[in-house]
Structure 1
Amino acid sequence: MGRLICTVLGLLMTCAVSAQQSGKPNIENVSNCFRGSFSDHASWVGFMKKRLLARGLDKHKVKKRMSGFLARFPEVEFNAFKQNLSCHIFTYHVDGQDVAGYVIKPKQVNEKLPVIIYNRGGNGNYGAVVFGSMMANLFPLAKEGFVIVGSQYRGTFTQDDDLDEFGGQDVNDVIALADIIPHLDGADSQRVGMIGASRGGMQTHLAMQKMSGVKAIATIAGVVDLNKELAFRPEMEKVYSKRIPNYQAAKTAQLARRSVINWVEDLPKNVPVLLLHGKLDKRVSVENSIRFARALEREQIPNKLVVYKDDNHSLERNKQAVFSVLSKWFHTHL
């Protein structure tokens, strides 16, 4: 018989048997996000202050940094999220690799909730979804009545972060979440959407080539044309060269395959696309989202483009507006 893996923290509806034996997801190492240094707000503050001091910053710089931290992550908000949300991290297995994942959802809900797969940006360990980014970007959305599930992508949080192929085999880590969703307590596997942030936009469109059942997607400063991005931000050559297999020998083909702008006609015609972008974005050009919206129009794919004129890559100045737009979008389409 397959090895029985029971989750006592309520992550899954049932125990999952080894995927090779039963076809069910192999979930291990489940733990609460609100633990250790994140068990309460005071512990988190102490942890952050200790890190700053360890970097050799003088007390004035530490005080200034901590002031900004407390403004961004106030205690009352932390306590409200802890009281009302369930958050767990776990390990799952894809292509023989251990991959870190997480699930965030409201507590004490009497009905199944729509699910949003969140595809993060960055590459390798850079951009990993740590506790702070969960609180800033995912807790507010989960609070609106969604189950949020996501992958850190293979290699993240390990010494072997070169496993990330920037739109290569790592896309399988996103696709594999579809097998986990039906086993998440309180998740409605018939109402699934997907969000891609920055590089996560690329992951979203690549995953959609092999996934079915996703009813709506949204991208935030999504990468849709790697060649255009390279012209806009030449330093990305270092990332492409390091991450993308066979890059030097087949650069044109590798970039084209990862760029949805080249195969818009292959996208499903019944999955609406929301595009959010800051006009002042210096990492991913807003012009690419504008071009992509026009391409979607030509293919008669339902879409909505929202450009925030006074904002940058992270849409930090319009966070509440972004959460409102995302919540309305997915509650409408899921």
Structure 2
Amino acid sequence: MYKLLLFASLSLAVFSTSAAKIIDDEHVTKETDCFTGIFADYDSWHQFIAQKNKRKAKTETEYLKRIKAFEETFPQDMFDNFKTNLTCHNFKYKVDDVEVLGYIIKPKVIKNKLPVLIYNRGGNGNFGSVYFAAMMRNLFPLAEQGFVVIGSQYRGTLTKNDDLDEFGGKDVNDVLALIDFIPHIASADENRIGMLGVSRGGMQTHVAMQHTNKIKAIATIAGATDLVKELTFRPNMENNVYVRRIPNYKENKQAELKARSVMNWVDKLSRKVPILLIHGSDDKRVSVDNSIQFAKALDKHHIPHKLVVYEGDNHFLMNHKKQLETELVNWFNKYL
């Protein structure tokens, strides 16, 4: 419910106000402040959400319940703290002659160069795009702990060309292009780069790792590691995502799914890049067995790793947000 509202609100705000560039690279064509438009201050955002819910709620009780949920999830003191202490920009960049949208978040006060986290989002196409509320809930807390966080929306997202996302195909280039920007970010340490993938982003992370040696550590949350086996757990992914997104899927189904499944190349993974696997035991979107079996394979091939399973939690790990944040921060602080 809130995702639809907040996605719409991002569309209203993205690229409405220019900002001084953080990324000094010619391929980055425009940067704008995240804290603009309806996100310029908490009252504007709150008013937007209130107006939307006023129209949608059938009763006053339902309306008040929705507003209370918003205020509990995104309290004003949290918003004000992040706006005071963080810089957040949306930006446009070119990959394969395609304009792609990205975002970068970092602390405002920086004494020394900071480690970088490349964040690979989940979902496909517009579904799962990193709107402001998702940044505030999942990425701002990481940046506040002393990281430069940079990510891609993947090609086609938030544009009229929603069919450009190949779900682990050419869109992986959108992730790899971010690595080239890091030396052009004054506050970023190009020798300390980590990668964090969530859900589909876990797959995206492992595919990207086949094409770079600049990543020092990775972490995945609820990532799919064997898309062939995963179809037996969630068969509707085939028609809803794979057939639409993956080129030549019907003709090359097995080959395309295996090319996106890290379980098929565990023996080729670097022993110098530690992997953190996090999953909820009650995940109904991506089976926890993906992380469990991958951990066993990593152990067999002596790849450094850690498996964390949150008992009873779902795909979004709603009951372990603080523990999740601590786990990620400790992991990347240790290995970057």
Q: Return the TM-score normalized by structure 2.
A: 0.92
Matched, 1:42 2:39: no
**AA at the equivalent of 1:136:** R
Q: Give the Cα separation in 2 of the matches to 1:55 and 1:259.
A: 41
Query: Which residue does the alignment assign to 1:284?
Result: 286
Query: Which residue does the alignment assign to 1:157?
Result: 158
Alpha-carbon offset, residue 57 of structure 1: 4.1
Alpha-carbon offset, residue 56 of structure 1: 6.0
Alpha-carbon offset, residue 53 of structure 1: 3.2
Query: Which residue does the alignment assign to 2:302?
Result: 300
Report if the CA contact (8 A) 2:281-2:309 is conserved. yes
Report if the CA contact (8 A) 1:10-1:185 is conserved. no
Q: Give the Cα separation in 1 of the matches to 2:168 and 2:42.
A: 36
**AA at the equivalent of 1:104:** I
Query: Which residue does the alignment assign to 2:267?
Result: 265
Q: Deviations over 1:160-214 (max 9, x none)?
A: 1110000000000000001111111200011000000000000000000001210
Paired residue secondary structure (1:190): strand
Query: Which residue does the alignment assign to 2:313?
Result: 311
Paired residue secondary structure (1:175): helix
Query: Which residue does the alignment assign to 1:245?
Result: 247
List 4+ stretches of structure 1 deviating above 6 A. none
Report if the CA contact (8 A) 1:226-1:255 is conserved. yes
Query: Which residue does the alignment assign to 1:9?
Result: 20
Query: Which residue does the alignment assign to 1:20?
Result: none
Alpha-carbon offset, residue 310 of structure 1: 2.3
Paired residue secondary structure (1:90): strand
Query: Which residue does the alignment assign to 1:4?
Result: none
Query: Which residue does the alignment assign to 2:32?
Result: 31
**AA at the equivalent of 1:293:** A
Q: Give the Cα separation in 2 of the matches to 1:316 and 1:72.
A: 11
Report if the CA contact (8 A) 2:176-2:208 is conserved. yes
Corresponding residue pairs, total? 318
Matched, 1:186 2:187: yes
**AA at the equivalent of 1:144:** Q
Q: Give the Cα separation in 1 of the matches to 2:133 and 2:332.
A: 24
Q: Deviations over 1:301-329 (max 9, x none)?
A: 00000000021101111000000010000
Ranges in structure 2 where 5+ consecutive residues have no aligned partner: 1-17
**AA at the equivalent of 2:205:** T
Query: Which residue does the alignment assign to 1:254?
Result: 256
Report if the CA contact (8 A) 2:31-2:90 is conserved. yes
Report if the CA contact (8 A) 2:226-2:262 is conserved. yes
Alpha-carbon offset, residue 267 of structure 1: 1.2
Query: Which residue does the alignment assign to 1:110?
Result: 111
Q: Give the Cα separation in 2 of the matches to 1:102 and 1:28.
A: 13
Report if the CA contact (8 A) 1:198-1:223 is conserved. yes
Alpha-carbon offset, residue 10 of structure 1: 4.3
Query: Which residue does the alignment assign to 1:147?
Result: 148
Q: Give the Cα separation in 1 of the matches to 2:238 and 2:30.
A: 36
Q: Give the Cα separation in 2 of the matches to 1:66 and 1:313.
A: 24
Q: Give the Cα separation in 1 of the matches to 2:58 and 2:333.
A: 45
Alpha-carbon offset, residue 54 of structure 1: 4.0
Q: Deviations over 1:52-101 (max 9, x none)?
A: 23446443322211110110000001100110111000000000100000
Q: Give the Cα separation in 2 of the matches to 1:182 and 1:259.
A: 30
**AA at the equivalent of 1:242:** R
Identity across matched positions, percent: 54
**AA at the equivalent of 2:289:** E
**For the aligned residues, what is the CA RMSD?**
1.2
Alpha-carbon offset, residue 261 of structure 1: 0.7
Q: Give the Cα separation in 2 of the matches to 1:160 and 1:286.
A: 33
**AA at the equivalent of 2:115:** P
Equivalent of residue 275 in structure 1, options 267, 274, 277: 277
Q: Give the Cα separation in 2 of the matches to 1:53 and 1:229.
A: 40
Report 1:189-268 matches (<5 A): 189-238=190-239, 239-268=241-270
Q: Give the Cα separation in 2 of the matches to 1:35 and 1:132.
A: 13
Ranges in structure 1 where 5+ consecutive residues have no aligned partner: 1-6, 18-25
Q: Return the TM-score normalized by structure 1.
A: 0.93
Paired residue secondary structure (1:98): strand
Q: Give the Cα separation in 2 of the matches to 1:128 and 1:203.
A: 14
Q: Give the Cα separation in 1 of the matches to 2:258 and 2:312.
A: 31
Q: Give the Cα separation in 1 of the matches to 2:119 and 2:44.
A: 27
